[in-house]
Amino acid sequence: MLGINGPEFLLLLIIGLLVIGPSRLPEYTQKLANIVKEIRRMASGAREQIKEEVGIDIDEVDWKKYDPRQYDPRRIIKEALLEDDSKPVSAGAPAAVSTVASAAAAAEHRPARVIERLPDGEPAPFDSEAT
């Protein structure tokens, strides 16, 4: 209940009794009871309005389907990696690399990366118009 435990609630109740006083206590308890009844009436009215407009009962909704925790990227990636690869692929999809050997052969045909270095003592080029 709003992060308040038993002893804290009891302390708040005692402070409330001291502030309100015994003479006005019945009046305030009646107001509190009326507020609780009104909130319950509004909640049931909202439930009925949702059922009337949407056509579904709130109790019948599968709330697990709408849980945002199911969209955890780590879980999605883990499930994708553990997923069975024997699923049929559509005709328009590109062919996947099936073996490690074909991937290694493709890496051998790549041109070597050339790294140019400045001679010792030469400053790096500077563009005064760069932002």
* Residue 36: both structure tokens together: 């609780």
Tell me what the mean pLDDT of segment 9-19 comes to.
Answer: 86
pTM (predicted TM-score): 0.37
pLDDT beyond 80 at 92: no
Residue-wise pLDDT tens digits, 35-52:
999 999 999 998 888 888
